[in-house]
C-alpha cells in the first residue's frame, strides 16, 4: 500500500507544480523537516537548511512576479516546460522502493503529465482573462493559482487520497476544454488559405 500512496502523493504534488513551481517544493521541505513526509534517499537534500532558504526565496519571487501585468503571461510560457520538469522531480522524490527506471518512468508520465495538464489549464484561464479584461483581472487568476498550489500541496501531504480526488476532478474539468481549444485552433489553421 505504501508504494501506491507514494505515487498518489507524487501525482498530487505534481499537480501543485502546475499552479506554481516552487510552492510544492517549499511545502515538501517543511513537511520533511517536521517528519510529515519521507523523501526518497537521493532527494533528502530538499529538507536541508540551504534548500529551505532557497525554496522560500524562490517561492516569494515567483508569486510576486505573477502579479506584474503582462510579465505573468511571459512567465506562463517559461513555466509550462519547467512545471513538467518540476512535477517529474516532485513525483520522483516521493516514490520509493522501486527500481530507478520504474521510479522515473512513473514520475515522468504521471507527475510530469499531471503538472503539464494543470499548467496548460492555468495558461488557458490566464489567456481568457487577458483577452476579456486586458490583463486587469489577471491578479485574481494569480491569487487563485497561488492558493491552489498551497492548498493542493498541503492537502497532498496531509490527506493524499482526498488530494487525488480534487486533482482528478480538476483534470476532468480542464482536459475537455483544452482538447476543444486545441481542435478549434487546429481547424482555424486548416481553413486558412496557403500562399503560393
Region 38-62: what's the mean pLDDT? 95
pLDDT digits (tens, 9 = 90+) for 111-154: 999 899 889 888 888 888 888 888 788 889 899 999 999 999 99
pLDDT at 112: 93
Report residue 22's pLDDT band, with 50, 70 and 90 as the boundaries: very high
**Residue 12 near residue 165, CB atoms below 8 Å:** no
For residue 122, give Cα distances in angstroms to 57, 105, 157, 159: 23, 25, 22, 24
pLDDT digits (tens, 9 = 90+) for 63-92: 999 998 778 888 888 888 999 999 999 999
**Residue 46 near residue 28, CB atoms below 8 Å:** yes
Per-residue buried b or exposed e for 4-30, using 16+ beta carbons within 10 Å of the residue's own CB? eebbbbbbbbbbbbbbbbbbbbbbbbb
78 class by beta-carbon count within 10 Å (0-12 exposed, 13-18 middle, 19+ buried)? exposed
pLDDT of residue 190 exceeding 60: no
Region 163-178: what's the mean pLDDT? 71
> pTM here?
0.81
Percent of the chain with pLDDT over 90: 44
* 1-5, 100-104, 128-132, 181-185: which is most confident: 100-104
Between 145 and 173, where is the model more confident?
145
pLDDT at 98: 85
pLDDT at 23: 96
Q: Please state at what angle helix 2-19 crosses helix 71-94, rounded to 10 degrees.
A: 170
Which residue's C-alpha cell is 513526509?
Answer: 37
Amino acid at each position: 500500500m505504501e508504494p501506491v500512496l507514494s505515487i498518489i502523493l507524487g501525482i498530487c504534488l505534481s499537480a501543485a507544480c502546475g499552479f506554481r513551481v516552487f510552492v510544492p517544493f517549499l511545502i515538501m521541505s517543511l513537511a520533511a523537516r517536521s517528519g510529515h513526509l519521507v523523501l526518497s534517499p537521493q532527494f533528502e537534500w530538499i529538507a536541508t537548511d540551504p534548500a529551505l532558504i532557497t525554496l522560500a526565496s524562490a517561492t516569494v519571487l515567483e508569486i510576486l512576479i505573477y502579479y506584474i501585468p503582462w510579465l505573468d503571461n511571459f512567465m506562463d510560457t517559461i513555466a509550462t516546460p519547467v512545471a513538467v520538469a518540476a512535477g517529474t522531480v516532485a513525483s520522483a522524490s516521493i516514490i520509493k522502493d522501486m527500481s530507478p527506471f520504474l521510479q522515473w518512468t512513473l514520475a515522468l508520465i504521471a507527475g510530469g503529465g499531471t503538472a503539464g495538464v494543470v499548467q496548460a489549464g492555468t495558461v488557458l484561464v490566464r489567456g481568457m482573462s487577458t483577452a476579456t479584461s486586458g490583463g486587469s483581472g489577471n491578479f485574481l487568476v494569480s491569487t487563485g493559482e497561488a492558493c491552489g498550489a498551497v492548498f493542493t500541496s498541503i492537502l497532498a501531504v496531509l490527506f493524499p487520497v482526498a488530494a487525488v480526488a480534487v486533482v482528478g476532478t480538476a483534470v476532468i474539468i480542464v482536459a475537455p476544454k483544452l482538447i476543444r481549444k486545441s481542435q478549434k485552433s487546429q481547424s482555424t489553421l486548416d481553413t486558412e488559405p496557403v500562399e503560393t
